[in-house]
Amino acid sequence: MEVVIVVLVVIAALLVIASGVWVAIALVSAVSKRKPRVKRGAKYLAPSFTGGSAQCHANDKNSDEGIL
Amino acid sequence: MVSSVLVVVVYLAVLTFVAVRARAARQFSEFSLAGRALPLALVFGSLAATYVGPGFSIGFVGRGFKSGFLFLSIGLAYSVQNILVGLLVAPRLRGLENCHTLGDAIGQKYDRKCQIVAGVISVGLCAGFAAVMASAGGVVLSDTFGMPIWSSVTIVVGVTALYTTFGGLRASVITDAFQFSAFAILLPITLLLVLALNLNQGASTFTEEAATATVAGFSSTSPIEIVGLMAAFLLGETLIPPYANRALASRTTRISRNGFILAGVFSVVWFMVMIALGVTARSIIPESTGEDHVLLNLVKSTIPAGGYALLLVVLVSIVMSSLDSLLNAGAVAFTEDIVKPFMCLPDKAALNVGRSATIIIAAIAAAGAVAVPSIISGLLICYTIWAPAILPALIIGLWLKRPRPLAGILSMLVGTAVAIVFQFIFPSAVKIPAIILALSSALLAYMLGHWIERIKCGV
């Protein structure tokens, strides 16, 4: 019983560390994406964490499909 | 001391780099909702970084030290709340068009008056929560460097306000993710190190300490207190403005729902780790240690100096990640729910109002930090007001086909008034916890308002 409790605590600690690593990977990917190139004639592009274009996000707004 | 300062300077440099990469907001929709483009990992990380404030870290370690696993069972109410919000409320909220805040959602469901009342409550509560965070940040810095509390509070609030003012929600979310990664990796490692290196006789000592503290915790807390605490954890932080902003800013309704569910599941393992840290501290530091100082003292007596500096960074991260979200949410609520209903604001002007409001709320939080009694008590006061003031009107409004404005406004005003009266003016007038009394009053007021308008309209 004693060992089981400690093992549970250790598993919890490892799960928390795994979550931290997952978010860190997402963060690195979000901040290291290069800004999308502005096409000639386009006024501006919508800001994005994924580097997608304004049109892409406009299409995606309120949809459950995500970016294809 | 030198290594501590060095670690803090490096940390601040990396944080600044991350904030700069997030770029300054150029439109109000970027400032308030980050362009509604947040992916799942960032919604989850930002939500978890926001709710894991000093209360859910320093506070929970202190409670684990005093009352063992009692607070794990109470904290589970919070996890259930997050999962329920993810399943039932967040997707509905995300589905609303042109909605920047909770006040907007309430305004769309009821009317403009209700939106303004919700806005005033949101801004007030954000300032209150921010004062608790500022106080906690001040305590951490002043304990470590021996600085006066006012200068510690100024540093923490100043740095946070700086990147939140320019970057808005996007900077808040990006820096939250960075801060989340820092504390979600370093604090469990601290626990594993303490378990491996400092606990004499290992598992049996840990289990004995846990059992002793938990029995003491249950015997010193009455059942009605436990019910009150569970109600506070279940409802007190439900959809407070920073969480609602993340639900609204998710890329899709599915991400909004899953972000809350994941954050709820994460809170279970997080509480376990924090309580376990408190339990391990029982055999290492003196029993007379104050609750808010258990974590700091535990690390001071078990981890080498460099490790202590790292912990300092972790604690400052925890405080700043909650504080930035509150500052941004309060500023957006002020602009959208209080200023915009009275005047037509062009986008640029709305952005400037939002930025100015961020600075004003930060100044109020810094000034109010000295009045905060303790981290957990400060949070419980805010919970007691938020839940009755907003939740009945918001949740019933999202589900009813034709919600009545009178019901919404009555419920918000009565809920706020009863919570303030029984929390501050007559705290010991009744034995029932103030949050339960105020919540019941708000629900009754809602039903009364609904009934009166229904009779008036004849529908």
DSSP one-letter string for B210-272: HHHHHHHHHHHS-HHHHHHHHHHHHHTTTT-HHHHHHHHHBSSHHHHHHHHHHHHHHHHHHHH
Q: What is the pLDDT of residues B12-51, one digit of tens each?
A: 788 777 777 766 777 787 787 777 888 999 999 989 988 8
Q: Model ipTM?
A: 0.81
More confident residue, B363 or B142: B363
Q: What is the pLDDT of residues B174-228, one digit of tens each?
A: 888 888 898 899 889 988 988 887 666 677 888 888 888 899 888 888 888 888 8
Distance CA B194, CA B202 (A): 10
Q: What is the pLDDT of residues B99-122, one digit of tens each?
A: 888 888 899 888 889 999 999 999
If one counts the domains in chain B, the total is 1
Q: Which residues contact B232 (CB under 8 A, 6 or more apart)?
A: B380, B383, B384, B387, B433, B435
Residues in chain B closer than 8 A to A62 (CB atoms): 94-95, 97, 252-253
Instruction: Quickly tell me which residue has 């339990």 as its tokens.
Output: B279
pLDDT for residue A51: 45
Find the mean pLDDT for residues B355-361.
94
More confident residue, B322 or A48: B322
**Residues found in chain A:** 68
More confident residue, B435 or B143: B435
pLDDT for residue A23: 93
Instruction: Quickly tell me which residue has 């919570």 as its tokens.
Output: B419
- Search chain B and give the residue with CA nearest A3: B203
pLDDT for residue B194: 85
Q: Is residue B402 part of a domain?
A: no
Asked whether residue A53 carries a pLDDT value surpassing 50, the answer given is: no
- The whole-angstrom distance between A51's CA and the closest CA on chain B is 10
- The whole-angstrom distance between B311's CA and the closest CA on chain A is 15
Distance CA A29, CA A34 (A): 10
Asked whether residue B283 carries a pLDDT value surpassing 60, the answer given is: yes
Residues in chain A closer than 8 A to B94 (CB atoms): 62
- Search chain B and give the residue with CA nearest A15: B269
pLDDT for residue B459: 60
Domain that holds residue B254: 2-101+111-372
Q: Is residue B127 part of a domain?
A: yes
Asked whether residue A65 carries a pLDDT value surpassing 70, the answer given is: no
Q: Is residue B408 part of a domain?
A: no
Q: Is residue B442 part of a domain?
A: no
Q: In which band, very low, low, confident or very high, does the pLDDT at A4 lie, cut at 50, 70 and 90?
A: confident
Would you say B312 and B7 are in contact if contact means Cβ atoms under 8 Å apart?
A: yes
Bridge partners, B250 (sequence order): B38
Looking at chain B from residue 103 to 162, which residues have their Cβ under 8 Å from any Cβ of chain A?
A: none
Contact B174 A30 (CB under 8 A): yes
Q: Is residue B431 part of a domain?
A: no
Asked whether residue B458 carries a pLDDT value surpassing 90, the answer given is: no
CATH code, domain with B42: 1.20.1730.10
More confident residue, B144 or B153: B153
pLDDT for residue B306: 67
Distance CA B191, CA A6 (A): 11
